[in-house]
Structure 1
């Protein structure tokens, strides 16, 4: 049986979708995509948010911008689309962007917009884990 593809954060693959509009590819993920082993996906873009966009963090279970604008609906929509893609592709694992309010796994920013970290998962990572998909971050691959 052939290996199943890995779902990866599109920003790690060098795709122009980071919140700040910058491109910062992570070479091990780029290599997975080049070899046809990974499927890039950005839940924030699929949720309807533009690139660039205002930074968001998780506060009291909601995804918000610094001014309090609630973006939870867009983040949920993108997470649901990513789960759908994972199912279509048969993905059983994912490598996602550390600390992102979508993709963070095990640690995210705490909602104060002070770069303070807190235990927790982004909405997309949490949804994937709830459906049995193993989630790691690029830091797990690097380390």
Structure 2
């Protein structure tokens, strides 16, 4: 989502909250189906579904995880807030790649020295490498 001021946003794919809510409903259905009179199983299924639904609500309330403009970066902070990081505060923009279970995971790391902000593919809606390249291109030369 580019606009004329040179800002860009990366957000959670719209299908992800729907999948999380569907998973929550499925967990409750499975809990009801397999509880067999055991309240602990049902309560555990409901609690897990509530956490998953809360995670989906966060995606709906604050879908934008990362935004950039000429003044700096805006990153998700807390449950649904945002924090502005001026370019002078950003020390490094890197992509961490790690092989796990035969797959390689990528995480965008934005280091301010005081804090480290991590974003995966499902936070950004695209690969972390693409986002890192765009951020480096927009970042003012120091």
Normalised to the residue count of structure 2, the TM-score between the two structures is 0.24
Structure whose alpha-carbon radius of gyration is higher: 2
Greater per-residue helix proportion: 2
